[in-house]
Amino acid sequence: MAVPQKPKTRWHIAVFLAPAVLVYTAVMIYPLFNTLRLSLFSEVDQTRIWVGLQNFRTLFGDAIWSEQFWNALANNAWFFVIHMLVQNPIGIALAAILSSPRLRFSAFYRTAIFIPTILSFVIVGFAWKLILSPIWGIAPGMLDAIGLKFLYQPWLGKEEYALTTLSLVSVWQYVGIPMMLIYAALLSIPDEILEAAECDGITGISAFWKIKLPLILPSIGIISVLTFVANFNAFDLIYAAQGALAGPDFATDILGTFMYRTFFGFQLQLGDPHMGSAIASAMFGIILIGVCIYLFGIQRRLRNYQFYGQLNAQSSSDNSQHDRRTCDPGYIYGDRAVSGICHPDQQFQKPSRDLS
């Protein structure tokens, strides 16, 4: 009795997508492409002219411009390195401690550590400037009280310390983000796995290194990418603490402040939207390359490592009823409901993306 029906035009898909697509296009996609377009122009005698890649040639070829650019890029890289070496390990450690069931007041610690993240960068920049100030700050007094006054330096004013100091201030502010993400990942590890490990005698700290850490590696990867993108887009803290000239002697100049200075001008320097767009495009390129390296190089290897490496090595030593070699731990990890269901004949399943 079935009457062949013409497939209906499913309007609701377009309707429901429209708000997000329109807003995203208006505030993200259009400005992005317009910036890229703007970087190919220049202004001569009040008229905008097409110059092709000339702005980029100036940026990378002209000694004055390229020196500033590489300085900003190197500073930015250092800013990122500090975050990766300090912020993320501390965040992971805090999350591991917080997820320990024996810790009391963990909700309080969690909130206290997360609060700086929701503060405005202006407040953070200003508060730390005051704390570290040689004149009014409490840092010299506190060091003096424990007899370490000789360690005090006007950190924000010295070329060799300023960038590291500001990076650490930024770490202090944002350490809550990796902590929360890792904390969530740790909570989602199925108890069965940990119990199984316990049966094999893997407990305490070695359970963290051998079981939990491999399972949260994808989260760490995501955090690394988020850190990378945020750091190479950073601007606010440096601007709030050191101003657009990113002193002392451009020691804290990162791509964001360099772009701001060029685009909007500073003091007597008139703004040059076209060179500014060229720098913004270069930043976009750098971030794009970085994210691609992660997506195509690292994320894939992370997952493979997780499948064949750690867990298989462990499961092969115990003769469990399931042949774990053909199970997909990513599958287990990603979805509790199907954990433990394994089909000996099944080939390795490629987990769909959203499982991680």
Partner 1 sequence: MKKSTLIGAMLATSVLAGAASAQDVTLTIESWRNDDLAIWLDEIIPAFEAANTGIKLNFTPSAPAEYNAVLNSKLDAGSAGDIITCRPFDASLALYEAGHLADISDLGGMANFSPVAKSGWSTDDASVQFCVPMASVIHGFIYNADAFEELGIEVPTTEAEFFAALDTIKEDGSYIPMAMGTNDQWEAATMGYNNIGPNYWKGEEGRLALLAGAQSLTVEGWVAPYRQLARRGAYLGDGYEAQTYPDSQNIFTLGRAAIYPTGSWEISGFNNLVDFEMGAFYPPVQNAGDTCYISDHTDIGIGMNAATANSEAAITFLNWVASSEFSTIFANALPGFFPLSNASVDLEDPLAQEFISWRDACESSIRSTYQILSRGTPNLENDTWNASVAVIKGDESPEDAGARLQEGLASWYAPQQ
Q: Give 153 or 233: the residue with its C-beta nearer to partner 1.
A: 153
Q: Which of 52, 61, 141, 243 binds partner 1 (CB under 8 A)?
A: 243
135 in contact with partner 1 (CB under 8 A): yes
**Could you tell me which stretch among 103-111, 229-237, 264-272, 316-324 binds partner 1 (CB under 8 A)?**
264-272
Q: Which of 106, 117, 133, 233 binds partner 1 (CB under 8 A)?
A: 133
143 in contact with partner 1 (CB under 8 A): no
> Which residues lie closer than 8 Å to 142 by C-beta, 6 or more apart?
none
Q: Of how many residues is the chain composed? A: 356
CA torsion angle 155 160 163 164 (round to 10): -80
With the C-alpha atoms ordered 62, 68, 72, 74, is the resulting torsion angle positive or negative? Answer: positive
* Minimal distance, residue 108 CB to partner 1, in Å: 34
Could you say which residues in the range 274-333 bind partner 1, by CB under 8 A? none
Residue 39: CB atoms within 10 A of its CB come to: 25
Output the six-digit token pair for 111: 């909130």
**Could you tell me which stretch among 99-107, 150-158, 211-219, 337-345 binds partner 1 (CB under 8 A)?**
150-158
Q: Where are the alpha helices (DSSP H) in the chain?
A: 11-24, 30-38, 54-61, 63-82, 88-98, 106-118, 121-132, 139-145, 159-174, 176-187, 191-199, 204-207, 213-232, 236-242, 255-264, 273-292, 299-304, 311-317, 329-334
Q: Give 266 or 348: the residue with its C-beta nearer to partner 1.
A: 266
Say if CB 255 and CB 232 are below 8 A apart.
Answer: yes
158 in contact with partner 1 (CB under 8 A): yes
**Could you tell me which stretch among 157-165, 181-189, 217-225, 322-330 binds partner 1 (CB under 8 A)?**
157-165
* Minimal distance, residue 51 CB to partner 1, in Å: 16
Q: Which of 77, 84, 245, 291 binds partner 1 (CB under 8 A)?
A: 245
249 in contact with partner 1 (CB under 8 A): yes
Output the six-digit token pair for 255: 């791509």
Three-state SS at 44: strand
Interface pattern 16-55 for partner 1 (x via CB under 8 A):
------------------------------x---------
* Minimal distance, residue 355 CB to partner 1, in Å: 47
Say if CB 329 and CB 214 are below 8 A apart.
Answer: no
Q: Which residues bind partner 1 (CB under 8 A)?
A: 46, 64-65, 129, 132-136, 140, 153-159, 242-243, 245, 247-250, 264-271
